[in-house]
Every structure is written in structure tokens, then in C-alpha cells.
Structure 1
Amino acid sequence: MKKQILVAPLNWGLGHATRCIPIINALISEGFTPIIASDGVALALLKKEFPRLSTIELPSYNITYSKNGSLFKLKLLKDSPKLLKAIKAEKKAIKAVLELNDIVGIISDNRLGVRSKKVPSVFITHQLNVLSGNTTWLSTKMHQKIIKKFDMCWIPDADGDTNLSGKLGHVTNFDVPIKYIGPLSRFNKTKAEIKNNLMVLLSGPEPQRTMLEEKLLSELKDYSGKVVFVKGVMQKEQTIQVLGNMTIYNFMTSNLLEKTINESALILSRSGYTTVMDLAKLNKKAFFIPTPGQFEQEYLAKRLTEMHLVPSCKQKDFNLSKLDEVKAYDGLKAFNFDVDFKVLFDLF
């Protein structure tokens, strides 16, 4: 009987789910049986990626962004009672899951209530520091307090000066054992012929995902090159729509996404950390539009622009001419980091 490990990514856009894909594949390679636990689009995506694995639906956090980015923090504060209620329901659900299944370990990617004292519980995050403007000290303290309830914290980045997350994933000291496991990506770079001038990659919570989709579809009407546009909307069936020089997908599964990114000269997307890891692995040139009001994405975009790697701008300021800035930037590059999953999984 193979040891069963519960893998539970947060349903906040698709990033947490997609970066769990290499973890799930590594567990399978090392002889474990992963059980996937999540909700919403994150669960839908992983069901498509791993149709043979058992899945469990967890209570939803139901977090949405405000239409006005400047009110994002206020909306999170307003939603906090709902969030605490969901975490409580999540803990109850995990207790029942452990009673019904012979699970020997838990890997939670930012799901705050997915842990147990009965089995080793790991928390995956790239945010030891949680940026929230003038309340960063408080949001960081609260997040670190939650992480300390886990047995181990895995950070998908490298320790040292050459890293992707900057001050988000690096602190001088921490009370819980930390392991830097290297940037996580489900993709591999291939020597592909460039077929698309531009690829648009969208994801993230509503309504901001839809707002950016509408803006970009309008702006790109005048773009002369070949465009592949991926909305990041998980639905039962894949849909493909052709509008002039633009091919629009509702979603792509990993293999097609990997192939298409490799075949695209430029990527236009949010500056979510998973996207940064993926594009670094594939050595891509990119342009970033951070989600309005999301301090983490704004920090990553600003940092990478200042490092002369990827240009970026605010959502309201984007227009087609901004893409010309890409020529002056170096693009993202992967750095060598080999993670020994066998040693990493010794915890279980």
C-alpha cells in the first residue's frame, strides 16, 4: 500500500494549483499516492491534469477582489469574518478526511486550516513577508503566526542573492524549519519555432480577471502580429474562437500551454509569482500588468522592472504602445537549482 499524501492548494486564481503540479508529479515518482483537496477552478484544473487521482472538495474561501484596486485591502478586511469561518470549516473537513483515509502527510499551499497534529504538515508559501502597505507589519505577523502551526515551511525559491521573490520570501530568522525548494514550474523549455508574436495569459480572482480581459481584447484589436489569448477560465470543455489574427482559448491544459508559451515571442500577463517562476523556467520576454491593489504583484512587477528584466505598468495605463518597451529589457532567465524530492519527502 503506497503512502497517501494530501495536497491542498488555495483556490485563488490558478497559480497555487499549477505550482503544485510538479510537487504532485514528484510524489508519484517517489512512490506516494497524492490525494488532491481544493475547491473551485483550482480543483477543476487539477482534476483535468490528474484524472486518475482521488479528489476532495474543501470549503471555499470565496474571496473576490474589489473593482477599485485601492479598496482591495478594505474588501479583504470586510471579508475576514467569512474567511475565518471558511478556515474553521476547512479544519473540520480535514479532521474528517484523516479519519476516513490513511493519510501520512499534508502539503498545504497557502490553505490556512489544512493541517493536523496527527501527521507531518507542510505549508508552501513564497510570502514570509506579506505586503499590505502601511499594515505590512501586521499582515506579516498574522501570516507567520499561522505558518508556525505547521511542522515545516517550503519556499518555492532559492536562498541567497539570486532569487525571484526578493523580500517576500526571505527573512533573517524564523521559528519554523524552512526549506528553499527552488522555483516550481510544471513546464520545460524546448527549442520551438516561434509561431506567435504575442501570448496573453490571464488568471486570478474576479472581477479583476474579467476587467483585464475586456481591456486587452479592446486594445489588441489594432495589434498587427499573431496573438494567442488564454482567458484562464476553467470550464468543462475547451473552447477556441478565432477573431482576425487572434486565437482565443478559455483555458489550456499543461502540455498545450507549455508548447504555446515556448512558441510565443512575448508573454503579456499578471505578475503573479507562479507566472514569474514559469516564465523564468522558459526564459521568456514578458510584459506585466499587476492586479490593482495587490501589493505582492505590484512589488514583483516593480522589482523585475528595476532589475531591467521585465517592463510593467498599471492596468489603467496600459495601451498597445507599451509593448514596444520590451525590446530594452533582458527577459526572465532560469537559474540552476536542483531539488532532491526524495530527501524533501523524508518528512513523511
Structure 2
Amino acid sequence: MHHDKRERKLMGSVFVSPLNWGLGHASRDISIVKELLSRGHEVTIGTSGNALAFLKKECPECKFIQFEDYPIPNNNGRIFLPTYSAYIPLLIEAYLSERKKAEKIFSKHSFDLIISDSRSGVFSEKVPSIQITHQLHQSLPLIAWPLELLGVYVQADAFSKFTRVVVPDNPPGRGALAGKLARTFVPSLQDQIYYCGILASVRKEPVKKDIDYLIVISGMEPQRTALEKILMRQIPLLPGRKVVLLGKPSIDKVSTMDDGTVIYTYISNKEKSELMSRARFIICRSGYTTMMDIAEAGLKNGLFIPTPGQWEQEYLSRYYENEGWFFSRSQYGLRLQNDINRSAGFSGFPAMTTTEKNVSRLYQDVLSDYL
């Protein structure tokens, strides 16, 4: 009988569905997908666009379902709040459509566990469903603090549809990478939460530090391209060896800007691990997944450029400066050489438990309960 149970455990089938807003959600889910595969489970991934292209390259052993998510609000940066407010009705419509599509998928395919990364409509009332998010608390501009407060309760209500909520961060306190974003004061939600520690998509490699500047240009359009234009004018002025990553998984090419600069449109996670381990200094957006990668790689020197109008990145940038970890600069006032000099007095993130240990513990403590 015991043997039968073990057989059943190894055969569990899991549906994983990351949001396709930038590659962050897909990237942090790779460690979970690989852990599930290594434990003998069958994994089906439901996503679209760049996230789908990226995961097909990284996890070819999985099955894939084209599953569109929410339209991205057009973020031109400076007037994001009114744009975003006008976008809310579209978001509600998209949520209802996502619920319908999810139910259709779940009626056609049989799963033992559903893992949704930041897609609040991807759950089933019949199958255990886990939500992965570091955003239990939205960060809005000060003028909108009543909305921020309301948002905490709206989030808690949305998460109540899930069996568990897994937060890819250390528990609240000094080493918490997401600060207030990963905290909630709603007691019912606190009972559902499991803090699993960081889930990075890279590993620290034992290589020589021989890249002076690693420049990662990522995130949602049109701001990704806007940053690329600003940085490409200033990168040639930096001394030493530079590597630029453009984060475009649908294109795959390498080019050079000058003798010291190599540009990749896309690289695999394994190559990214190596480059981050070789870099002395990183220049990038302050998106949460990138932050976990920097913490994992042990990179201590960097300059962050939050996406304009993305309050989460702007909050994280302020939080890290206040903690004395990293310096940030708005892309509108970016003067690379000066800003790099100002970054010198910061310590980098404190040391924390590695992704490998975190994901193994997550499997034992949470996922194995349902598989």
C-alpha cells in the first residue's frame, strides 16, 4: 500500500501559469518547474508571448498551452496613474475572460496541482491551487494612499480563492528583499502565506570577475526600448569590458558595438548565470526577479534604473537606498559615469539562503502535500 502511494506521488501532474509582463514571472518559475521535473512530475506550462518563447527554450521537457493573459497598460512613464485607472475596466474584463479560459483548460486536462504566478484568474475550485506573488501590498504614489490601503483588502480577497500563497522572499524583517510589498495585515491571508525565500533564475558560478559592466535592458514595452535608446548612447563612454543583454527571446543574435562591448539579444539562463558571476558591476531595472538574481549571484556593486511609473520598482529603489544596499537613478536624468561613482558607497544585499535550498524546502513543505 505504501509503495502505491509513492507511485502516485511521483506521477502527479502540475499546471504552471506565469504572467507575461516582462520575463520576470517566467524566470522565477524555472526553479520550481525544474524541481517538479526532477521529482518525476509531469509539468504543463500555460502562458503566451515572450514568456512562452523563453520557457520553451529553458524547459523543453514540458508540455505547453498557449494561454493569453491581461493586456499591458501602455506605460509612457509620466502619466501612468490616469492611464492605469482608465485601464481597470479592461483588467476586470480580462480577468473574467481568463477565468473562462482557465476553466476550459481544467475541464479538458486533468491536473493534481495548479500553480499560478500573478494570474488571479488561474485557479480551480476542484484542484489545489497555489498563487506565487511577492505583491501582497501594492505600492502606490503617496497621493493615492487610500487606494493602496483598499488594495490590500482587494488582494486578500483575490488570494482567498487559492489554497496557499507562496511568497518568493525571506520572511518579513531585516533581510526581506521585497520590503513592505511582501507583508500584509489581513489575518486570513497571513494564515495562507508561505515565505519560501528567493527563487532566482541564475546560479553563482565559480568564475573570474572579468566583465567590468553588465547592462541588462529588460521589462515591458515601450519602456524597455526607451531605456535601450538612452543607455546605448552612454555605454561607449564607459571604460573596460562591457556586456549588454537586451532580453528579446524571440530574436537570437550577437553583435559588437565597439572593441570592448558585446550585445546579446537573448541568452540562456545558464549563460546569464555565468555573466552575472563574472560581472564586477551591474546596471539594470529594479524589477523584483532581477533583484533575486543579483542576491543569488552575490553581486555587490550596481546601479538600478526603475521603470518610470512602475510604482513597485520605484518603491524597491527607494527601499534599497534607505537600507544602504544599492543606488538608483531615474532614466530621465541618467548620467552613467557620475551615477556609477555615486553607487560606490553601497554594500549590496545581505547574504541569504540559496534558491536550490529554498526550492527543495518549498517542495517538501508545500508542493508535496498535493502531489
Calculate the TM-score normalised by the size of structure 2.
0.90
Runs of 5+ consecutive residues of structure 2 not aligned to the other structure? 1-7
The structure whose residues are more often helix, as a share, is 2
Is 1:8–2:17 an aligned residue pair?
A: yes
Show the 5 A alignment for 1:208-219: 208-219=223-234
In structure 2, the partner of 1:78 is 86
CA-based RMSD of the aligned residues comes to: 1.5
Q: Which of 199, 202, 206 is the aligned partner of 1:187?
A: 202
Aligned-pair CA distance for 1:83: 2.0
Q: Structure 1 CA distance, aligned partners of 2:170 and 2:139? A: 20
SS in 2 for 1:175: helix
Distance 1:173 1:137, change over 3 A: closer
Is 1:302–2:311 an aligned residue pair?
A: no
- Comparing 143-152 with 210-219, which one deviates more in the overlay? 143-152
Aligned-pair CA distance for 1:185: 0.9
CA contact (8 A) 1:132 1:139 kept: no
Q: How many aligned residue pairs are there?
A: 346
Identity %: 32
Aligned-pair CA distance for 1:63: 0.4
Calculate the TM-score normalised by the size of structure 1.
0.95
Q: Which of 28, 31, 41 is the aligned partner of 1:32?
A: 41
Aligned-pair CA distance for 1:200: 0.8
Q: Structure 1 CA distance, aligned partners of 2:229 and 2:154? A: 35
Q: Structure 2 CA distance, aligned partners of 1:300 and 1:332? A: 12
Is 1:322–2:336 an aligned residue pair?
A: no
Q: Structure 1 CA distance, aligned partners of 2:159 and 2:217? A: 29
Aligned-pair CA distance for 1:116: 0.6
Distance 1:323 1:315, change over 3 A: same
Is 1:272–2:287 an aligned residue pair?
A: yes
- Comparing 330-339 with 3-12, which one deviates more in the overlay? 330-339
CA contact (8 A) 2:131 2:162 kept: yes
In structure 2, the partner of 1:142 is 154
Q: Structure 2 CA distance, aligned partners of 1:52 and 1:86? A: 30
Q: Which of 164, 171, 175 is the aligned partner of 1:152?
A: 164
Show the 5 A alignment for 1:35-184: 35-67=44-76, 69-133=77-141, 134=144, 135-161=147-173, 162-176=175-189, 177-184=192-199
SS in 2 for 1:153: strand
Q: Structure 1 CA distance, aligned partners of 2:37 and 2:60? A: 14
CA contact (8 A) 1:129 1:140 kept: yes
Aligned-pair CA distance for 1:347: 3.3
SS in 2 for 1:184: coil
Letter in 2 for 1:163: A
Task: Encode CA deviations 1:33-75: one digit per residue, 9 max, x unaligned.
Answer: 11111111111111110112111111231204422x2311222
Q: Structure 2 CA distance, aligned partners of 1:143 and 1:175? A: 12
CA contact (8 A) 1:131 1:140 kept: no
